[in-house]
Structure 1
């Protein structure tokens, strides 16, 4: 039994090392603040290490841990309902002398305006490149529920993006 725990710990540590950028990006996509995202990843690692023995199938590690990161991010947002603080990276984009950078601001705003259950699906499916069944595992939902919500989320994004383009044309 001790050997199994040791192997799980090693495999988990290796997983975190290999996926640290993805985990940070996932947390950051919710909180939009680098320090908070790092705290969320750290809290998620701590939670996972405390409950690693509850993971029955280690092939599910990715979806299990992503679920922890998503839930920790949502808990953080609920706990800290406040105006988003602008971090140093964001300030650099507004500083004079820098070239303006507008890559996907409209898309980011539209995604941020989605309800959390739709936002999570969009982020996991398109930004974390998870398959529908993996998204269902992460969010602990039925695959058909995820498909329905994904369709609805894309429809809402399409409407929001069209509204923005119409406003911009006026």
Structure 2
């Protein structure tokens, strides 16, 4: 049944029970959810914890899913909201990141260009980082990002523009910028 879900996309979920749907969602979108959570939290363990929370919440609310959006959009909205909650928490604000060590400054080359660019994206301030990630890495349209984040379309365009300019400057100078 799970293999059919991959072949026939989300429509087959109508024929699956909740456990099968959850399994399919985790296989299909698990890595995306962890990656998005990591871009917000910059901590692998927290990102994995958020992913577990997201799938638990999704499982609990499968009956309420209206199918007005795709499962991916629904899961990303849950992820973004959960990450914002974590970032506001006392534990997050007072957590010492032992896992996160700044990357050494490197010159972009063919071998490490993706890693270098990814690190520069992660160094962006949160609002610009989320716009860049959702637009370029997750291939959402500006209107979809606006709906997902519940922010005006022009605000998303501004965040994308500012993010691009900061990335361009950082890539040219090899520098960083703060949150």
What is the TM-score of this pair, normalised by structure 1? Answer: 0.70
Helix, strand or coil at the partner of 1:141: coil
- 1:161 matched to which residue of 2? 171
Partner residue of 1:14 out of 17, 20, 24: 24
Partner residue of 1:71 out of 81, 90, 99: 81
2-structure distance, mates of 1:129, 1:84: 30
- Following superposition, which runs of at least 4 residues in structure 1 exceed 6 angstroms of deviation? none
- Number of positions where the alignment pairs a residue of Structure 1 with one of Structure 2: 152
What does 1:71-90 correspond to in 2, within 5 Å? 71-79=81-89, 80-81=92-93, 82-86=95-99
- Residue 28 (structure 1) aligned with residue 38 (structure 2): yes
Higher relative contact order (CA 8 A, sep 6+): 1
Q: What do the CA deviations read for 1:91-126 (whole angstroms, capped 9, x no partner)?
A: xx99xxxxxx74445434432332211111111111
Structure 1 unaligned blocks of 5 or more: 95-100, 166-170
Instruction: Say which structure is richer in helix.
Output: 1
Change (3 A) 1:33 1:83: same
- Residue 46 (structure 1) aligned with residue 59 (structure 2): no
Residue 33 of structure 1 deviates from its aligned partner by 3.0
1-structure distance, mates of 2:38, 2:45: 9
RMSD after superposition: 3.2
1-structure distance, mates of 2:69, 2:21: 11
What is the TM-score of this pair, normalised by structure 2? Answer: 0.67
1-structure distance, mates of 2:97, 2:15: 40
Helix, strand or coil at the partner of 1:22: helix
- 2:144 matched to which residue of 1? 134
Change (3 A) 1:104 1:84: farther
Residue 147 of structure 1 deviates from its aligned partner by 1.8
Helix, strand or coil at the partner of 2:70: helix
